[in-house]
């Protein structure tokens, strides 16, 4: 019995050691995303930025904006890298798709999009407000993008946006706010007011992902966006995973065509 207990103890210690090493490795790896702050009129937007390997200002690169979900909000300039950053840190992806990648962080108790969340009924109900001013975090993101796009090393015809959950909602909203900015977009388990798609339906390709079992953001929100895009004359790409819940981003990031589809797109000159 003692021998069995000792073996179990060694096994648990080995697992914990492996987890610590893995977490340390990720922590060190994510530091390749440089910590930055965008300050304008006393408002501060924290963000992380990843430059391509062997970066040179004499070259031009695509710009990728990624918007995180509600669980990664804060002011630590860390949590926004929890989901999605490893995809862009992958050494093979960095070689195949050299790009400038930006992960801004939304403050707690705020949102990327103008949305009212009703949690009183079964599940969450989202009411998206069309028009008006963008939220302060999204307004700051737009101004940050404007400043980055004006840099000589950014290819203005290859600017992309993607996001998950709250960030998927923010993706749809920033497309509506800046319809002439993006070459392509990816929205994971998000949603928006379907009436807004007319601003970008015929100019910006969109790939939508959602889990059919999502009990946080009902898949009907993505389905309504896809339907609206079709009615507006667009040809959206959509994956509805029958066995996935809210974290459908894991399946989305694992799609072999995820980055090739995105970086293949280019806005007309």
Distance of alpha carbon 126 from alpha carbon 140, whole angstroms? 23
Percent helix, strand, coil in the chain, to 5, is 40, 25, 40
Q: Between β-strands 115-118 and 100-104, what pairing exists: parallel, antiparallel or unpaired?
A: unpaired
pTM for the whole thing? 0.89
Please list the pLDDT of the chain residue by residue as tens digits (269 residues).
555 555 555 555 545 444 444 444 446 689 999 999 999 888 899 999 999 999 999 999 999 999 999 999 999 999 999 999 999 999 999 999 999 999 999 999 899 999 999 987 677 999 999 889 999 999 999 999 999 999 999 999 999 999 999 999 999 999 999 999 999 999 999 999 999 999 999 999 999 999 999 999 999 999 999 999 999 999 999 999 999 999 999 999 999 999 999 999 999 86
Distant-in-sequence, close-in-space partners of 14: CB < 8 Å, separation ≥ 6: none
What φ, ψ does residue 61 adopt, rounded to 5°?
-135, 155
What is the β-pairing status of strands 61-67 and 100-104? parallel
Beta carbons within 10 angstroms of residue 56's beta carbon: 10
State what percent of residues in the chain have pLDDT above 70: 88
């Amino acid at each position: 019995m003692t021998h069995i207990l000792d073996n179990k103890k060694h096994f648990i210690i080995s697992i914990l050691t492996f987890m610590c090493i893995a977490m340390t490795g990720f922590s060190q790896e994510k530091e390749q995303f440089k910590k930055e702050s965008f300050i304008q009129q006393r408002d501060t937007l924290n963000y992380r930025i990843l430059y391509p390997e062997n970066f040179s200002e004499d070259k031009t690169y695509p710009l990728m904006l990624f918007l995180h979900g509600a669980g990664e909000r804060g002011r630590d300039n860390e949590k926004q890298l929890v989901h999605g950053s490893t995809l862009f840190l992958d050494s093979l992806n960095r070689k195949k798709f050299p790009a400038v990648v930006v992960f801004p962080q939304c403050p707690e108790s705020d949102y990327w999009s103008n949305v009212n969340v009703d949690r009183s009924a079964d599940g969450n109900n989202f009411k998206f407000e069309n028009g008006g001013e963008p939220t302060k975090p999204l307004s700051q993101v737009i101004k940050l993008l404007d400043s980055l796009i004006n840099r000589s090393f950014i290819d203005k015809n290859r600017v992309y946006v993607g996001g998950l959950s709250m960030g998927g909602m923010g993706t749809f909203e920033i497309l509506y706010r800046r319809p002439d900015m993006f070459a392509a977009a990816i929205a994971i388990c998000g949603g928006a007011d379907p009436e807004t798609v007319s601003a970008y339906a015929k100019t910006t390709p969109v790939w939508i992902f959602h889990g059919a079992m999502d009990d946080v953001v009902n898949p009907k929100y993505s389905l309504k966006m896809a339907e609206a895009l079709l009615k507006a004359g667009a040809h959206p790409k959509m994956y509805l995973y029958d066995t996935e819940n809210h974290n459908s981003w894991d399946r989305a990031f694992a799609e072999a065509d995820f980055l090739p589809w995105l970086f293949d797109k280019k806005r007309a000159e």
